[in-house]
């Protein structure tokens, strides 16, 4: 699933190409993309309006049109936005044409991606605030804020990191990478992470996400950038998907276990297992 770095990669590519352009035509070929609204309700109001910006909040890409109309695009598991992709591109769910002759396609094999229209900054803020927690690159993303959020929680720290209502934008890949960088076992209870560990984890989250953005995202399965190119962060993983290669720090084994319902990679030498933690191993 595309996470914060992958969405930010696409946002940075869209901005110079489409800001100032005007939507002149569209075709939504899969009504599921805008459910429960009809495609015309969601996209038609954007026709004839100039694009004023592309923003990101968590894993949401926000297309801002004039008069404060906002199209929220979520890639979900397998969605991609492709610029000037060939006619007949498979799994095209929505197609947008602009006044300069270029076009944009939303391509999604599994059909989980969504598009949603909001009117006005206050409506946008209310929608996002109800669904998303603190942004990792914001001033509010501090160790103390995270510690307060986790106070008393018995949930594994991996689940805490994946909870979008607490922290916006982190998914399975970057949670594994951040926990390894901070030497915290993914099954440690969030409420038992120490103040010193929160300091390390806060910085590790920012470092892992920044590295992902620098590499233009990770392309394990479906993610491609605006031009259809793969990201390269998968070549820089410190722990995720490295069960066959061993730990880069200690040389010991990396295990794949179940944590927060997700396949999770851990080196239990570098990330000591908390007392009483029940390990559920997973096959590759």
What is the sign of the dihedral through the CA atoms of 112, 56, 68 and 129?
positive
Which residues make Cβ contacts (< 8 Å) with residue 97, sequence separation at least 6? 23, 24, 25, 26, 103
Q: Which residue in 11, 56, 57, 59 is the catalytic one?
A: 59
Q: Cα dist. 1→104, 160, 225, 283 in Å?
A: 20, 18, 13, 20
Q: Which residue in 230, 262, 268, 274 is the catalytic one?
A: 262
Which residues make Cβ contacts (< 8 Å) with residue 34, sequence separation at least 6? 28, 41, 42, 43, 114, 115, 116
What six digits make up the tokens of 170? 């982190």
110 in a labelled binding site: yes
Question: 165 an active-site residue?
Answer: no
Question: 59 an active-site residue?
Answer: yes
Length of the chain: 284
* Closest C-alpha to 259, from 176, 200, 180: 176
Q: Token pair 């352009």 is at which residue?
A: 21
Give the integer Cα–Cα distance in Å for 258 and 263: 5
Question: 216 an active-site residue?
Answer: no
Residue 235 and residue 216 in contact, taking contact as beta carbons nearer than 8 Å: no
Q: Residue ranges for the binding site?
A: 110
* Residues making up the binding site for DNA: 110
Q: Which residues are known catalytic residues? A: 2-3, 59, 262
């Amino acid at each position: 699933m595309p996470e914060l770095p992958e969405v930010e990669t696409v946002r940075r590519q869209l901005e110079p190409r489409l800001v100032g352009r005007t939507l002149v035509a569209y075709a939504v070929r899969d009504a599921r993309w805008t459910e429960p609204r009809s495609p015309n309700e969601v996209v038609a109001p954007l026709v004839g309006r100039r694009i004023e910006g592309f923003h990101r909040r968590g894993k949401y890409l926000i297309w801002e049109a004039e008069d404060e109309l906002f199209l929220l695009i979520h890639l979900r598991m397998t969605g991609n936005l492709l610029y000037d992709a060939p006619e007949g591109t498979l799994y095209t769910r929505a197609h947008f044409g602009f006044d300069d002759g270029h076009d944009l396609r939303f391509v999604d094999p599994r059909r989980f991606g969504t598009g949603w229209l909001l009117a006005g900054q206050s409506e946008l803020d209310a929608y996002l605030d109800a669904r998303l927690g603190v942004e990792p690159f914001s001033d509010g993303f501090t160790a103390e804020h995270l510690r307060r959020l986790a106070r008393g929680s018995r949930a594994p720290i991996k689940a805490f990191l994946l909870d979008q209502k607490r922290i916006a934008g982190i998914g399975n890949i970057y949670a594994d990478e951040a926990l390894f960088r901070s030497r915290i076992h993914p099954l440690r209870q969030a409420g038992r992470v120490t103040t010193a560990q929160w300091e390390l984890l806060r910085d590790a989250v920012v470092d892992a996400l920044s590295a992902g953005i620098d590499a233009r995202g990770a392309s394990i399965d479906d993610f491609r950038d605006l031009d259809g190119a793969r990201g390269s962060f998968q070549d820089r993983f410190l722990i995720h998907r490295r069960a066959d290669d061993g730990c880069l720090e200690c040389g010991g084994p990396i295990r794949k276990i179940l944590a927060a319902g997700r396949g999770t990679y851990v080196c239990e030498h570098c990330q000591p297992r908390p007392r009483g933690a029940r390990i559920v191993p997973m096959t590759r």
